[in-house]
Amino acid sequence: MTSSSVIRQLLPGGREPVHSYQQVTFKQQRMKTTTNMASEFGLMAAQALRVVMPGKVALPGEDSYLQARQIYNGVVEYQPALCALCETVADVQAAVRVAREHNLGLSVRGGGHDWAGRSLRDRGLVIDLSKMRRVEVDVKAQVATAEGGATAGDLVAAAAPHNLVGVTGTASGVGMAGLTLGGGYGPLTPQFGLALDNLLGAEIVLGDGRKVNADAFENAELYWALRGGGGNFGVVTSMRIRLHPLRELLAGIILFPWSEAESVLHGYAEIAASASDEFAVITNILSGPDGNPVVLLAPIWTGNQAHGKQAIAELQRLGSPILAKIGPMTYSDLLRTFDANFVNGRHYELQTRWLPKLTPEPIRALLDAGSGKTSTFSNIILQHFHGTPTRVPIEATAFGLRREHFLITIVAAWEPTTKDNGNIHRQWARDLSQVLASAALPGGYPNVLGPHERDQAALAFGTNTPRLQTAKGQFDPDGIFASAISLPE
């Protein structure tokens, strides 16, 4: 770990206050000793793992290590002791067992898109699934079997030739396993549910190296916990995902000037109150081409296109759009329109809130934050949770919120420079989250909550918390998978 990362831990918002030079140097020396010990354990683990996985183990300094360590958020500086470049279930089992034998912490890297860097276990062993991305489609059953490293783009590409789609997030590069296990909001959610609602079963390697299947009939409690509890129970090596017939949809973007932002958001709130299952709108407060803030509405209509044109026209009448580009498109085309917003290597910090409604107070907070953005790359995303997923009983899965709401994702993003350590952008995101807290529902979306948002994490699973904690104790009693999304303590 570099000295800069040590200092960052000591800044406001870090984990330990430091008041003197002596305390800083002591902490640095202690961390250096810990790092050296971890390196020794890493070398020993690598030697053992290379016996059963020749050519698939990466250590610091090797090109394959640098590639495995590369993730979406460039601010993450975690340095794993070694990476297991798994290609088979047997590889995953071997990596889990070796990590346990050598007392190394574990993490799992799929798409590498978690902003908090949970896929990289600092001084631990990373199970890299990026070579396990195969997707097979059973057209008759309308089911895809996707390996643990498959991304949304992999799933969409496999299903598209058969005029089928799976529920994904808004970026092609996001790993399907991480997205699905923690929730899975996306453009198709109002019509087809969360990604986790479409998980039919999983093959999973537990902390003792055993491979088991989990579905409604086998290991049903594990299957329940996987749908919302994240990667807290093992390594998902494959998933069976329900697909849906959908050849094309009606979608696009409507861009409004900032001078109309308030009226557009109020008008959209009224439209959303009676939105049908076929209608999703992703709202974004972001920077326009000139760097000034704008409001973008991205409507997605999955039903009859004649009806969809009427619904989208109502959105366009909310103001005088700078740009309106709407038309029939495939789901692959839709994801490509969002992918430009996800730039690998840029620096990020995210905050999230669940709002029950878009009322004047939170709208004003969103507008103030939009006007005060500290980076042209930062943005605020609103996704309306309604329709099909609200009709799933709360106890059916581990996911903690089934009532209608708006998911707010606050994205602080900036390009790294020697003059910009990111603190002003982080504070912008945290300030908006704090202002929204009074109007928000308890908790927040586990897939976005950072590891230090303990107050929100404690409430994120609602009435499912006790059952989820019991499942953690049953399936991962030794806490092998502690790097996954935070569960209530």
pLDDT value of residue 10: 24
pLDDT value of residue 416: 86
Amino acid occupying residue 189: T
pLDDT value of residue 419: 85
Q: Which of 460, 483, 444, 489 is nearest to 351 (CA)?
A: 444
pLDDT value of residue 224: 98
Could you give the CA distance from residue 206 to residue 214 in angstroms, rounded to a whole number? 11
Helix (H) or strand (E) holding 403: none
Among the four given CATH numbers 3.30.1700.10, 3.60.21.10, 3.30.465.10, 3.30.9.90, the one describing domain 135-245: 3.30.465.10
Structure tokens at 116: 């908090």
- 249-457, CATH topology level: Vanillyl-alcohol Oxidase; Chain A, domain 3 (3.40.462)
- pTM (2 decimals)? 0.90
Residue pLDDT tens, the chain, 489 long = 332 322 222 222 333 333 332 333 323 343 343 344 447 778 999 999 999 999 999 999 999 999 999 999 999 999 999 999 999 999 999 999 999 999 999 999 999 999 999 999 999 999 999 999 999 999 999 999 999 999 999 999 999 999 999 999 999 999 999 999 999 999 999 999 999 999 999 999 999 999 999 999 999 999 999 999 999 999 999 999 999 999 999 999 999 999 999 999 999 999 999 999 999 999 999 999 999 999 999 999 999 999 999 999 999 999 999 999 999 999 999 999 898 878 889 999 999 999 999 999 999 999 999 999 999 999 999 999 999 999 999 999 999 999 999 999 999 999 988 888 999 999 999 999 999 999 999 999 999 999 889 999 999 999 999 999 999 999 999 999 999 999 998
Q: Which of 128, 117, 129, 126 is nearest to 42 (CA)?
A: 126
Evaluated on CA atoms 243, 244, 249, 251, the torsion sign reads negative
With DSSP H G I counted as helix, E B as strand and the rest as coil, what are the percentages for the chain, rounded to 5? 40, 25, 40
Among the four given CATH numbers 3.30.43.10, 3.90.1170.10, 3.30.70.3040, 1.10.3720.10, the one describing domain 3-128: 3.30.43.10
Q: At what angle do helices 3-10 and 21-52 cross, to 10 degrees?
A: 120
Domain map (residue ranges) of the chain: 3-128, 135-245, 249-457
150 alpha carbon, distance to own chain's centre: 14
Q: Print the SS3 string covering 106-130.
A: EEEECCCCCCCCCCCCCCCEEEECC
Compute and round to an integer the Cα radius of gyration of the chain.
22
Evaluated on CA atoms 275, 192, 229, 147, the torsion sign reads negative
Tokens 């932002």: give the residue: 261
Structure tokens at 329: 């498109």
Could you give the CA distance from residue 52 to residue 54 in angstroms, rounded to a whole number? 6
The answer to whether residues 424 and 451 touch, using CB atoms and an 8 Å cutoff, is no
| Number of CB atoms found within 10 A of residue 111's CB | 27
pLDDT value of residue 19: 30
pLDDT value of residue 144: 98
Tokens 């030697």: give the residue: 47
Angle at 71 between CA 68 and CA 74, to 5 degrees: 130
Structure tokens at 378: 């930062």
Angle at 107 between CA 102 and CA 113, to 5 degrees: 160
Q: Which of 40, 247, 268 is nearest to 159 (CA)?
A: 247
Amino acid occupying residue 97: R
Helix (H) or strand (E) holding 466: helix 465-475
Could you give the CA distance from residue 210 to residue 319 in angstroms, rounded to a whole number? 58
Angle at 12 between CA 10 and CA 15, to 5 degrees: 50
Q: Which of 147, 145, 155, 149 is nearest to 127 (CA)?
A: 149
| Number of CB atoms found within 10 A of residue 270's CB | 11
Q: What is the DSSP letter of 417?
A: B
Could you give the CA distance from residue 297 to residue 284 in angstroms, rounded to a whole number? 7
